[in-house]
Structure 1
Amino acid sequence: MQIAYLMNTYPVTSATFIRREIAALEAQGVSVRRFAVRPWDQQLVDDADRQEQTRTTYLLAPGGLRLVLLTMAESLRNPRGFWRAAKTAWTLYRNAGRGALVRHVAYLMEAVHLKRLANGCTHVHAHFSTNTAAVALLCARLGGPGYSFTAHGPDEFLDPGAASLGLKLQMARFAVAITEFARVQLALAGGMGIWPKLHVVRCGVDVTDLRPAPPPATDAPFVCVGRLCVQKAQEHIVAALADLHQTHPQARVILIGDGDTRPAITAAIARHGLGEHVELRGWADNAAVKDALSGARALLLPSFAEGLPIVIMEAHALGRPVISTYIAGIPELVDQQTGWLVPAGDVPALAAAMRACMDTPPEELASMGAMARARVEAAHDVTRNATDLKALFSRYV
């Protein structure tokens, strides 16, 4: 069985879970060929990601003129298949609305190139239901292999009509949701008629590599890992820490990641006088993130919108509680037994959760960490989840 994995931008520092998923499938005998629309435009910090980049074929690599020539050749060599794909691309464009014509012409050209490159593959699996699923759909309409996709959220579910999510589900062999919440969103987009081919396969981590860490030190900091952006709401962490300092002036926060809101976060740190209590580390490789989480009191992730973040699974696997928001799939893993959930955007509630964590005795934190570890072992072991995914490939392909 040879599967083509299709991503938009790959590898990416914030999406190492795809690399782990591919590796787990290959360990179980599945041959995986890696395709992406384009490489990441930032520097990769992890050696494993840099090696993965050399294994990936990029659909836009030949350049615009070469893709046009390949598309013209496909239209002459495969007129019936090309007409099917062109009509489907037009439908996708009309659903998307104004300003999307060039983008959907590009999808068609990418699909032509994918069909050519994926010769010998029996199936295409796309990560995310956005442009990669559109390219996989058009490739199948050209006469290429059938496809499936994994939906994560949250952006994928914002406007399912414009994204033609129902059409992508209808044409797919099957679809994977990473949480029960995501499966419901797919059913809302595609109708209950497609429910039988919707399957939950949760993202996973290597639990053998993430051993439970020793109990946190009394001065252990809170750690937040993720892209610095409005969606992740790190500015609220700074405001909550200022509140927490009224009773716990020793509390500290480490922010790992980078992004658009870094200047605003830096300004908030200065405004609250927390320069010695908040550390901005930028992007870090997997080993550095693991070390930071192992030394943390708890993971902080007060997001406004998520699917189910991998870093929550990593923190739980290391025996650390999590402070997050009860949105999307997060409550499927985190509850009062393994952490604290607060309303998204509620800074006083976030500060109260941080205060409760600071006041929790070490033995109780250890108990929460043990429960968290057990949940990850049961539901988010990447090897077990790859077995489930392999079974779906075997069943539908």
Structure 2
Amino acid sequence: MKVLVVTTWLPTRDAPEIGKFVASDIELLSRDHDVQVIHLSAGGITLPIGGERVSLTTVPMTPSNPLSVWKAARVIRERALSVDVVHTMAVSALLPFIVGRPPTPWVHTEHWSALLSPTTTGIVARAAIPLVSRMLVVPDVVIAVGHELAAVIRTARRRPTVVIPNAVERPELLHDRPGGGEVALVGVGGLIRRKGPDIAIRAVAELRSRGRAARLVWAGDGPMREELTQLAERLGIGEHVDLRGRVSPDRIGALLAESDAFLLPTTVETFGVAIAEALVAGRPVIVGANGEQSSFVGEPDGVLVHEQTAEAYADGVERALLLNADRSAAEIASRARALFDNDARRGGCSDAYALAGARRVGPDVDVIIAVHDPRRRIDRAVRSALTSTSVERVIVVCHGLETGPIEAATGIEDGRVEFVQFDDGVRSPAGPFNHGLDIASGRFVVILGSDDELTAGAVDAWRRTAERERADVVIAPLRHDNGSRVPTPPTVRSRGLRGSRDRLAYRTAPLGLFARDSVGSLRLTPRLATGEDLAFTARIWFGTTRVNMHTGPGDYIIHDGDDRVTFARRALSDELRAVELLARDPWACALPDDDRTALAVKLWRITVFGAVHYRGSEWEEGDRVWLAGLVSSLRDFAPRALNVLSRADAALVEGLADPAVADLEIDIRSRRRRRFTSPAALLPSRLASVLAREAPLRFIAATWWASRR
């Protein structure tokens, strides 16, 4: 496989210790792949990289210079056209991809400790964390170097995040500890607060005060050098502390060979390469407990210290020396050597590349169509779904029908179409759709009415929105077959939609793309002739699911035939049974007040008032009494909803609450509330609520905006 590695971290002549683990990763990849490397360098001469199948190109790029980032992006995109996978390594290597993702599968390896612990970095870098988190959404696969880092990254993305530990240098020859009268401690890391060199020096002073001769050699440089030199002198141990400065990677092994133990009072590590290298070299480690090192450091090989004090680290050193007094270097190193196996890392990278390729091209959407009448244009619905390459299966659930006639009527021969017979003896669309959800296996599901269709490639477009915006649900744009738009939900936003803020309740039908994980065991309400989707979508809109609206091409087209099941005349108790159930649902009753108000206003305006309007004055016996009971339930469910309904709406509610009010009067009040430019229809029943989100003025404005979207 041809792999293009893009990284900002590689050893240079001036800084040979920077990015040495990235160089090791590249050398490892070259054993299985042809690797082209682009080093995005802010300056300095890149050192050669090992591996026979590696070619290296240095491209100047300064993160603070947008022009250099744009030029680097052009080079990367051109080179990406001739490879099988792009593999970015290190957070700053993501910058050129802000202008667009590569045309090939993309894998990213992340090491940045600030994602795990933002307080460990400067204020400028900390400000970049939201941008980095957003960029980490885009790669097909992200490789985290530790489990804790992976957990943080997974909160920002839906695509796969896998763990492959950093490269760990393994010395060929293991040296037993020198022993002797003085305890030789070695630390490796920058002279920065997070690495704890000051605590290491104080720990040496504490050990010497206890009568244990100890000295410290620290490999690494940084802004604390002068402060640490003065600290050692002030504590009277200047001659026992050796701040070596920068040490080339090939000399670290020699320092470890001359030591008795490794000491690093770090506050956090995304992996802890130096810690792992000390272990595989056969040296016990005494390190901070916060970070990925806690997954591979354990007694007797090492001691995790939970307090950032000199006394605690001095105790840790004494305990590590006691536990390993009679153990050889090989015994100390055995567990770590088995854990950090390069063959396992090679296999993990190849698996990540295969996964990235599969996710880029692999279909993973199941489209569910329920049909109860062979006269339906099921062929139109099925063919429209098959125009999207991301569709893995079209599941046609034949409700109370033999599959043979339906399959013959479609005239479609495509292995992606599966006809399933289902008969529950209930005249409700909930049963067949739920059956489809039960047997769906794709990452995403789409529910499509047998009367309806999708524009060409609509599912692909929705899926791209889901991946790009890391959404669990993508609401599809709706239009009727006459071309008119359906302005639901009436919101000005398209990303990160929330139930009450964005009036999501107005989109009752679950039309769009749903991540199957977000649906879980949730199903349409069984045995309802209509409104079966009311509780289903309410639980999604007012839950924690990430919801986006798709914008751009990719419509769901509603065909408004006169014989649609949706338009069938039913008893009022059947038509509004879903409203009654929801108003009494313990889950709904436990929603915050704002959510219940938003949900109730929609139920009044659309569902209840709609049923009343289309009945005219043709009420059946018992309808008005039953409806009065429903009005009482809705009032109890969300009392504040009546404040934001229009004055004409409130008058209709008062009439519905009293079965003694004449049917003709109900019809008059129903028609009056539909005069949408009248003062009674524009002003809320409580004037102080005139600018409330659900009040008529803002609702009408949002609906107008949504109709133009």
Q: TM-score range by the shorter chain?
A: 0.7 to 0.9
Q: Which amino acid aligns with 2:106?
A: Y
Pairwise CA distance, 1:249: 4.6
Matched, 1:217 2:179: yes
Equivalent of 1:25 in 22, 29, 32: 29
Deviations 1:97-120 (A, max 9, x none): xxx9x6556533421232234442
CA distance in 1, matches of 2:274, 2:264: 9
Conserved 8 A contact 2:111-2:270: yes
Equivalent of 1:384 in 344, 349, 370: 344
Pairwise CA distance, 1:323: 0.4
Partner of 2:49: 52
Larger gyration radius, structure 1 or structure 2: 2
Structure 2, unmatched stretches of 5+, are 119-125, 358-709
How big is the alpha-carbon RMSD for the aligned residues of Structure 1 and Structure 2? 2.7
Matched, 1:168 2:127: no
Aligned residue for 2:26, secondary structure, equals helix
Matched, 1:373 2:333: yes
Cα 1:251–1:381 change in 2 (3 A) is: same
CA distance in 2, matches of 1:227, 1:148: 29
Deviates more, 1:265-274 or 1:339-348: 339-348
Cα 1:289–1:350 change in 2 (3 A) is: same
Report 1:1-397 matches (<5 A).
1-11=1-11, 12-28=16-32, 30-38=33-41, 41=44, 50-52=47-49, 56-60=56-60, 106-128=68-90, 130-136=91-97, 138-140=99-101, 144-157=103-116, 158=118, 162-190=129-157, 193-194=158-159, 197-207=160-170, 209-218=171-180, 219-343=182-306, 345-360=308-323, 362-363=325-326, 365-366=327-328, 369-370=329-330, 372-397=332-357
Deviates more, 1:2-11 or 1:159-168: 159-168
Conserved 8 A contact 2:107-2:352: no
Aligned residue for 2:344, secondary structure, equals helix
Deviations 1:173-229 (A, max 9, x none): 101111111110111233xx33xx11111112243x343322432235100011111
Conserved 8 A contact 1:324-1:342: yes
Partner of 2:634: none
Aligned residue for 2:47, secondary structure, equals helix
Cα 1:344–1:148 change in 2 (3 A) is: farther
Partner of 2:434: none
Aligned residue for 1:13, secondary structure, equals coil
CA distance in 1, matches of 2:139, 2:131: 12
CA distance in 1, matches of 2:72, 2:250: 35
CA distance in 2, matches of 1:373, 1:360: 14
Conserved 8 A contact 2:115-2:129: no
Conserved 8 A contact 1:126-1:136: no
Pairwise CA distance, 1:27: 1.8
Pairwise CA distance, 1:277: 0.7
Deviations 1:335-381 (A, max 9, x none): 22211111252222012112333455620x43xx5454223222212
CA distance in 2, matches of 1:311, 1:361: 20
Conserved 8 A contact 2:301-2:324: no
Conserved 8 A contact 1:308-1:329: yes
Q: What TM-score, normalized to structure 1?
A: 0.77
Q: Which amino acid aligns with 1:264?
A: E
Conserved 8 A contact 2:35-2:55: no
Pairwise CA distance, 1:233: 1.2
Aligned residue for 1:337, secondary structure, equals coil
Cα 1:2–1:139 change in 2 (3 A) is: farther
Q: What TM-score, normalized to structure 2?
A: 0.45
Aligned residue for 1:311, secondary structure, equals helix
Pairwise CA distance, 1:305: 2.4
Q: Which amino acid aligns with 2:250?
A: A
CA distance in 1, matches of 2:291, 2:256: 23
Q: Which amino acid aligns with 2:134?
A: L
Deviations 1:43-81 (A, max 9, x none): x9xxxx7323995423327xx9xxxxxxxxxxxxxxxxx
Cα 1:300–1:210 change in 2 (3 A) is: farther
Cα 1:9–1:203 change in 2 (3 A) is: closer
Structure 1, unmatched stretches of 5+, are 65-99
Pairwise CA distance, 1:147: 1.9
Conserved 8 A contact 2:300-2:323: no
Cα 1:166–1:284 change in 2 (3 A) is: closer
Q: Which amino acid aligns with 2:348?
A: D
Cα 1:55–1:254 change in 2 (3 A) is: farther
CA distance in 2, matches of 1:396, 1:258: 39
CA distance in 1, matches of 2:194, 2:324: 32
CA distance in 2, matches of 1:151, 1:160: 18
Which structure has the higher relative contact order (CA within 8 Å, separation 6+)?
A: 1
The size of the alignment, in residue pairs, is 341
**Which structure dedicates a bigger proportion of its chain to helix?**
1
